[in-house]
Each structure stands twice: as C-alpha cells, then as structure tokens.
C-alpha cells in the first residue's frame, strides 16, 4: 500500500510538471484531476467489490488536435470472496479524447492494471470526466460513476 501511495504521489507531481510545460500554448484545453471519490452504486472489477477511489491526472487537448496525458486511479474495496480489503491500481497513458458539448471530456488510452495477484498491461481504458466525478471503463467493464468527495477536477482553458 505504501508503494501505491508513493506511486500516486509521484504521478501527481509528474502531471503537474507536464502541465506546466504546456503553459502559454494557444488553443490548449486541459483536464486535471486530483482527489478522492465514492462509487455511486455497486461496481466490481477483477474480483474486487469497489467502494472508493483516489485519483490524479492531467490531460492536454492540444491546438494541433493531439491529446496526451495520464490518469492514475487507486480503486479500493473488498475481495468479493474473502471480504478482506483489496485495491486495484490503474495507471493509464492517455492518447486520445474529445471535449464534449456539456463541458465534460472523454479520454482514452491504455493502462497497466495491478492487483495483489496480477498485473495486466495494455488494457484499454476510457474515462468520462466532469467537474463532479469520473466514470471509468477498464477493458469492457464500465464502473459506476465516482462522485468527487474531496479534491477537484478542472476542465477548461490552460
């Protein structure tokens, strides 16, 4: 758990640095997130019944049409068989996305997904980000929305 917390902190610092490098880029829209959330209804992934998340990330929608960034989520809950606490770490590299008419963004890329017993690489991910939460799809599993409980999600001009 200490390694995952360090990893999330390191990712947040790297994202902040990357966004700072984009400062002054005309026509750049960003989505940045850092905080925690609670799942609005029952969600399960890889044998874990999920209850909450801690997340961080930043995505740049560049004037030339490219999208780049990262999103990291530490999903917490209980093992569906034993009931013991369990976590899933999703570390995504974002390579695509769209800014939606309602002010939200949809981003996509591939992730490394780590549980206590396995590490999966190259897993497709999609996230719908709003200023009030994130809905994450990992592979073919769409999780219920994570409502922002603490922190902030910003979507707008740089």
Q: How many domains does the chain have?
A: 1
Average pLDDT over residues 138-144: 97
pLDDT digits (tens, 9 = 90+) for 75-134: 999 999 999 999 999 999 999 999 999 999 999 999 999 999 999 999 999 999 999 999
**154 bridge partner residues:** 32
Question: The pTM is what?
Answer: 0.84
pLDDT 10s digits, 34-78: 999 999 899 999 999 999 999 999 999 999 999 999 999 999 999
CA distance 117 to 88: 10
Domain that holds residue 141: 2-157
Distance CA 151, CA 135 (A): 16
Q: Which of the four pLDDT bands, split at 50, 70 and 90, describes residue 27?
A: low
Strand partners, 74: 54, 89
Q: 110-115, long-range: CB within 8 Å, 24+ apart, which pairs? A: 111/138, 113/46, 113/88, 113/89, 113/138, 114/88, 114/89, 115/46, 115/47, 115/48, 115/86, 115/87, 115/88, 115/89
Give CA–CA dist 80/86, Å, rounded.
9
Percentage of the chain exceeding pLDDT 90: 80
Asked if 71 and 92 touch (Cβ cutoff 8 Å), the reply is yes
């Amino acid at each position: 758990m200490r390694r995952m917390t360090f990893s999330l902190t390191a990712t947040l610092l790297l994202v902040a640095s990357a966004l700072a490098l984009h400062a002054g880029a005309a026509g750049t829209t960003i989505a940045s997130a850092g905080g925690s959330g609670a799942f609005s209804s029952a969600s399960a992934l890889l044998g874990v019944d999920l209850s909450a998340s801690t997340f961080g990330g930043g995505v740049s929608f560049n004037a030339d049409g490219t999208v780049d960034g990262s999103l990291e989520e530490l999903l917490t809950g209980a093992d569906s068989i034993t009931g013991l606490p369990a976590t899933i770490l999703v570390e995504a590299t974002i390579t695509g996305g769209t800014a939606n008419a309602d002010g939200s963004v949809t981003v996509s890329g591939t992730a490394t997904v780590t549980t206590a017993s396995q590490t999966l690489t190259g897993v497709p991910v999609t996230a719908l980000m709003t200023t009030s939460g994130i809905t994450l799809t990992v592979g073919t599993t769409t999780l219920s929305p994570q409502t922002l409980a603490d922190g902030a999600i910003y979507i707008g001009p740089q």
